[in-house]
Chains A and B, each alone.
Chain A
Amino acid sequence: MTSPTTQPAAKPQLLLSIRQVVKSFGKLAVLRAISLHVDEGEFLTVLGESGSGKTTLLRLIAGFERADSGEIWMAGERLDLLPPYRRRVNTVFQSYALFPHLSVRDNVAYGLRMQKKIAPADIDKRVENALAMVKMSALAASKPAKISGGQQQRVALARALVNRPRLLLLDEPLSALDANLRRQMQLELKSLQREVGISFVFVTHDQEEAMVMSDRIALLRNGNLEQVATPREIYSRPATSYTALLIGHTNLLRCHVERGVARCGGFQFRTSVPDGPAVFSVRPEHIRLASTTLSASGDSVHFRARIVAQSFHGATDLLQVECADGLKLSVSVPSHGALNGQRDFEFSAADAFAVRDSEERP
């Protein structure tokens, strides 16, 4: 289910389809039967912690690794049987992998010069355009060692995009940049992707980055896809407790449901979840300080808790609170000075979202 605002007008065309791909290194299973698709013009982020198999998945698409089983198709063509240099896929490497002996301009021209059909004049024009697109024209004659990390990142991007690939793969391209530059590049990359209309598969371990940039997020965990959904959906409707904890902050309530009522310590609220144990995710921003003027409606859950810690986050304050039974929760409230002592809190039962328990925590 996607919200109407993110739904494009025309039905998106399927570009890449990964079918039941399995990959292991020796005895270590890295990917266990992954199936995933990428649409034309889509920005798909593969999110996962280190060791989740995200880079291996990217390397399989690029052709640097061979899958043990399964198939990869792109635009009606079997991709996984082609060597990397025959695939209309380009990669932006984590460490950029710019050729140190070539100038910025020659790095960008490299891919075009490998194709026999392009006239030298056309190559020059396309290279200049690509350099202008990433604002690197002034440094075209420099060697990669002479330019900064952010500039190398732009060159790597231009070097890949100048070939007009069907699909661009990006392996944590922003991880080497400092925080400010990183945020700026996230936005630039996203608008660039809209501009060129090429499908991006972006690998990262940074959930914030994934949320900001992606059309869809594929969350990978221990070689399995935990959830594939739009950022909004994955945030508001996490499938598992792992997803809920990884994507943004959350509170997990381990409840027992009996006849439509969930109970957890001092809490109880109505739910449609079937009877038995259940885990609910309640986002910190969905819990608020209870106001006396607001009448306690039927689906509102009230509780009293002691404020243990308070941290300032600009527009909001994050509170760590402890209930009488020892349950600790995070609460996000609009900033208004120091809070302490016992306070009344409330959240709407509708904001307690049932998730599948994944046992392990991120």
Chain B
Amino acid sequence: MFSRAYKTAVTVPPLLWVTVFLLVPYALLFCYSFWTVSPAQTIVHHWNLGNYRELLQVHVYFQTLLRSMWIAARVMLLALLLGYPLAYYVSFHAGARKDLLYQLVIIPLWVSYLVRAYAWKTILGSDGVLNTLLQYVHLTRHPVEFLLYSPFAVVLTLTHIYTPFAFLPIYASLEHIPRNLVEASHDLGASPLQTFWRVILPLSTPGVLAGATFAFVLSLGDFLAPLLLGGPSGIMISNIVVSLFGAAYNWPLGAAISLCMLLLVISLLFLSERLEKKWSFS
């Protein structure tokens, strides 16, 4: 039996945390999304569905959301295509260099996100590293402009930033595969390739799913990469929310978009967790 004082001491802080940092902000967000802005630029506590109606009627919001999802999907795919072979190599074939390689993959996570985004700006810009190189080897005479300020730049940067997030759960799931299963597969006549498709890949699907969810959800809500590298054609949904809460001073509409995004992300996480449970075999 625990004392009353002990129970209070361990229960109250997390409860307080959840209330102050989660429940209250989301409740406010929820309320704001049903309020409006007066012509005099003040927020009027007049309950209505106008913001949601606007979301459905003004196509730019939906289009931006679709573009954001398309960018996030590409980032997810690239992060998996890069992260899986990396995780596979480190887990199965790195031998004594395993820990070193693992650390090398992780190290970029210690560097500020902003620095990494800016690094891509200096690489892709019109007088950036890449263009200088292209001109130096006479592939082009003038700087290539489409590199920077495009969805391409956003996808590239986000892939660079979120590949470690895809790598980590995949690596963890590969590490959890008992090695005697791989031996058993070889023993039963399966080549390394057959073993990969029939044993290793199926047993690592929970990790792939977790990695895909990380890469997709984090990219979907990203705001810095499109701001720094996206240009007008690379705007994502978070940029719209930021401007609504900032310069446009339309908190109610911003809150409505945020709430929709929140619901979308929660359903994605829920779905991914259900699938992960279904496909895990430990």
Which residues in A have some Cβ–Cβ distance to B below 8 Å?
62-64, 83-86, 89-91, 93, 95, 97-101, 110-111, 114-115, 143, 145, 159-160, 163
Structural contact, A63 and B281, CB atoms closer than 8 A? no
Structural contact, A62 and B187, CB atoms closer than 8 A? yes
What number of A-B contacts does a CB cutoff of 8 Å give? Answer: 65
Structural contact, B281 and A100, CB atoms closer than 8 A? yes
Structural contact, A163 and B281, CB atoms closer than 8 A? no
A99 CA to B178 CA in the complex, in Å?
10
Q: Is B190 an interface residue (CB 8 A)?
A: yes
- A168 CB, nearest partner CB in chain B, Å: 11
Known: A100-B281, A114-B190. A93 touches B183 (CB 8 A): yes
- Give the contacting residue for A97; candidates B178, B198, B281; CB below 8 A: B178
Structural contact, B186 and A100, CB atoms closer than 8 A? no
Structural contact, B189 and A97, CB atoms closer than 8 A? no
- B156 CB, nearest partner CB in chain A, Å: 35
Q: Hey, which chain A residues are within 8 Å of B191, CB to CB?
A: 85, 114
Interface centre among B183, B184, B194, B281 (most CB of A within 10 A): B184
Q: Would you list 11 pairs from A and B whose C-beta atoms are within 8 A, ordered by A residue?
A: A63-B187, A85-B191, A86-B189, A90-B187, A91-B183, A93-B184, A95-B180, A97-B178, A100-B181, A100-B282, A101-B281
Q: Hey, which chain B residues are within 8 Å of A99, CB to CB?
A: 181, 184-185, 199
Q: Hey, which chain A residues are within 8 Å of B178, CB to CB?
A: 95, 97
Q: Is B188 an interface residue (CB 8 A)?
A: yes
A90 CA to B184 CA in the complex, in Å?
9
Residues of B in contact (CB 8 Å), total 19
Structural contact, A85 and B190, CB atoms closer than 8 A? yes
A95 CA to B183 CA in the complex, in Å?
12
Structural contact, B189 and A85, CB atoms closer than 8 A? yes
Q: Hey, which chain A residues are within 8 Å of B198, CB to CB?
A: 110
Structural contact, B203 and A85, CB atoms closer than 8 A? no
- B38 CB, nearest partner CB in chain A, Å: 60
Structural contact, B180 and A93, CB atoms closer than 8 A? yes
- A2 CB, nearest partner CB in chain B, Å: 32
Structural contact, B188 and A143, CB atoms closer than 8 A? no
- Give the contacting residue for B183; candidates A86, A97, A100, A160; CB below 8 A: A97
User: Which chain A residue lies CB-closest to B183?
Assistant: A64
Query: Which secondary structure characterizes the binding site on chain B?
Result: helix
Q: Hey, which chain B residues are within 8 Å of A91, CB to CB?
A: 183-184, 187
Name 13 extra pairs, CB < 8 A, besides A62-B187, A93-B184: A62-B183, A84-B183, A84-B186, A85-B186, A90-B188, A91-B183, A95-B178, A95-B180, A110-B190, A110-B198, A159-B188, A160-B188, A163-B189
Q: Hey, which chain A residues are within 8 Å of B85, CB to CB?
A: none
Q: Hey, which chain A residues are within 8 Å of B190, CB to CB?
A: 85, 110, 114
Q: Hey, which chain A residues are within 8 Å of B199, CB to CB?
A: 99
A223 CA to B185 CA in the complex, in Å?
28
User: Which chain B residue lies CB-closest to A106?
Assistant: B198
Interface centre among B185, B187, B190 (most CB of A within 10 A): B187
Q: Hey, which chain B residues are within 8 Å of A159, CB to CB?
A: 188
- B4 CB, nearest partner CB in chain A, Å: 42
Structural contact, A114 and B281, CB atoms closer than 8 A? no
Q: Hey, which chain B residues are within 8 Å of A163, CB to CB?
A: 188-189
Q: Hey, which chain B residues are within 8 Å of A62, CB to CB?
A: 183, 187
Q: Is B202 an interface residue (CB 8 A)?
A: yes
A145 CA to B281 CA in the complex, in Å?
8
Structural contact, A84 and B282, CB atoms closer than 8 A? no
Q: Hey, which chain B residues are within 8 Å of A100, CB to CB?
A: 181, 203, 281-282
- B255 CB, nearest partner CB in chain A, Å: 44
Which residues of B (192-233) have their CB < 8 Å from a CB of A?
A: 194, 198-199, 202-203
- B134 CB, nearest partner CB in chain A, Å: 46
A337 CA to B180 CA in the complex, in Å?
52
Q: Hey, which chain B residues are within 8 Å of A145, CB to CB?
A: 281
Known: A99-B199, A100-B203. A110 touches B185 (CB 8 A): yes
Which residues of B (156-180) have their CB < 8 Å from a CB of A?
A: 178, 180
Q: Hey, which chain B residues are within 8 Å of A86, CB to CB?
A: 189
A97 CA to B190 CA in the complex, in Å?
15
Q: Hey, which chain A residues are within 8 Å of B202, CB to CB?
A: 101
User: Which chain A residue lies CB-closest to B202?
Assistant: A101
User: Which chain B residue lies CB-closest to A87?
Assistant: B187
A95 CA to B188 CA in the complex, in Å?
16
Structural contact, A84 and B180, CB atoms closer than 8 A? no
A115 CA to B189 CA in the complex, in Å?
7
Structural contact, B187 and A85, CB atoms closer than 8 A? yes
- B179 CB, nearest partner CB in chain A, Å: 9
Scan B97-120; emit 1 where CB is below 8 A from any A CB, else 0: 000000000000000000000000
Structural contact, A97 and B186, CB atoms closer than 8 A? no
A98 CA to B199 CA in the complex, in Å?
11
- B34 CB, nearest partner CB in chain A, Å: 47
Structural contact, B186 and A63, CB atoms closer than 8 A? yes
Q: Hey, which chain B residues are within 8 Å of A64, CB to CB?
A: 183, 186-187
Q: Hey, which chain B residues are within 8 Å of A93, CB to CB?
A: 180, 183-184
Structural contact, A114 and B183, CB atoms closer than 8 A? no
Q: Hey, which chain A residues are within 8 Å of B281, CB to CB?
A: 100-101, 143, 145
Structural contact, A111 and B188, CB atoms closer than 8 A? yes
Structural contact, B187 and A84, CB atoms closer than 8 A? yes
Closest 5 CB pairs of A and B: A111-B188, A100-B281, A97-B184, A114-B189, A97-B180
Q: Hey, which chain B residues are within 8 Å of A84, CB to CB?
A: 183, 186-187
User: Which chain B residue lies CB-closest to A111?
Assistant: B188
User: Which chain A residue lies CB-closest to B181?
Assistant: A97
Q: Hey, which chain B residues are within 8 Å of A110, CB to CB?
A: 185, 188, 190, 198
User: Which chain A residue lies CB-closest to B282?
Assistant: A100
- B218 CB, nearest partner CB in chain A, Å: 28
